[in-house]
Every structure is written in C-alpha cells, then in structure tokens.
Amino acid sequence: MKASEQRLVLLLIILVTIFATGFATMRMLSWQRTLEKKARSVAMRTNETQQLLTEAPMWEERLAWLRSSQPQMTSVNKANNELDQSLVETAKKSRVTIENKQLQEPVETPYFHQVGETVLVKTEVKSLMQWLHELQSPESFTLVSHLTIQPVPEDAGKVTATVHVSRLFSPLKSAAENTVETQAP
C-alpha cells in the first residue's frame, strides 16, 4: 500500500469514527432527555398522589356526609312531585313566576338517581338569581344543569329564563354495597 492510500484509509477511519461518535452522542442525548421526561412525570405523579393522600380524610368525611344526607328515591312519581313542590314554593318566596313546566326523563346510574324538570320562568334578574341560589343548596341535592336567559322585549326590567333543574337521589343499596373501591398506587 502506498503512503497516499494509507493516508486515505486513515482519513476514512477517522471520519467514520467521528460520525459514529456523533451519532452515538445524539442517541445518548435523546435517551437522556427521554429519561428526564419520565423522571419528571414520575415526580409529578408522586406529588399528586401525596396531595391526594393528604386530602383523603376530607374526601372520606364528605363521602360519609353524602351517604347519610342524600335522600333515597322510593318512587319516580314521588320524587318528581317533591321536586315540583320545591320549585313552586321557592319560586313564590323569590317572586318568580313559573309559566311552563316539563318533566325530564329520570336518569339512573350506579351512583345516583336523578329526576328533573324544565321550567320557563319570567321575573326580574335579581329575583331569578336569588331563586337559583336558594334552589342549589347542598342539603337539597338540587342542581341547575342548564340555564338560558333572554330579556323580555316589552319590559326591560324582566327576563325569561329556561331552567333545567334536577335533584339527585341515592340509589337504593345497603351500606355494604354502596362503598367506594380504592386502589393502592
């Protein structure tokens, strides 16, 4: 082999070594970034888990309150009547006029039963807000799932509102069946 050929082979070996080193370095840096992302993800999940564990007594207390306070539905008709009476009574107190009512389909899930009613009301904005606030106390298990407010063209001080009101009931289960399963992290 001539000296010039030896230099070319040596140059080729040096270039291959440089490219191989560069490629290996890029792969290692990519691997390091992936490991750092995974480490951050694990650290965040660990922090979230620790936060949830510190909040566990509060959530257990809330669950106990829910189990002891949430009413059980014995019949859909009775539940609908109770909701309707509650809406009429609170509307009278708040000076809200109910113009139209329509029952919603009852909903059953493993965790709650729901009855609802859609009402069309006409009143002043302040009275409407007071009525909605009174309806949604935690002890009543009543919620407003949809609200549409439109001004009344003839009377600038009044509005017409379509309100979907629902009441949640506990499913009829024994205390042993109505437990929440938790999994260890």
Query: Per-residue pLDDT for 164 more than 80?
Result: yes
Task: Record the pTM.
Answer: 0.63
Quote the tokens at residue 121. Answer: 């009301």
Q: How far apart (Å, rounded) are the C-alpha atoms in residues 90 and 185? A: 46
What percentage of residues in the chain have a pLDDT greater than 90? 64
User: What does the pLDDT look like over 109-123, one tens digit per residue?
Assistant: 888 899 999 999 999
Query: Per-residue pLDDT for 177 more than 50?
Result: no
Q: How far apart (Å, rounded) are the C-alpha atoms in residues 54 and 171? A: 29
**What is the structure's pLDDT at 74?**
84
Tell me the residue type at 32: Q
Tell which residue, 58, 63, 117, 122, has the closest CA to residue 96.
122
Task: Give the architecture (CATH level 2) of 76-169.
Answer: 2-Layer Sandwich (3.30)
Query: Per-residue pLDDT for 15 more than 70?
Result: yes
Across the beta sheet with 97-108, the strand order is 97-108, 113-124, 158-169, 142-151
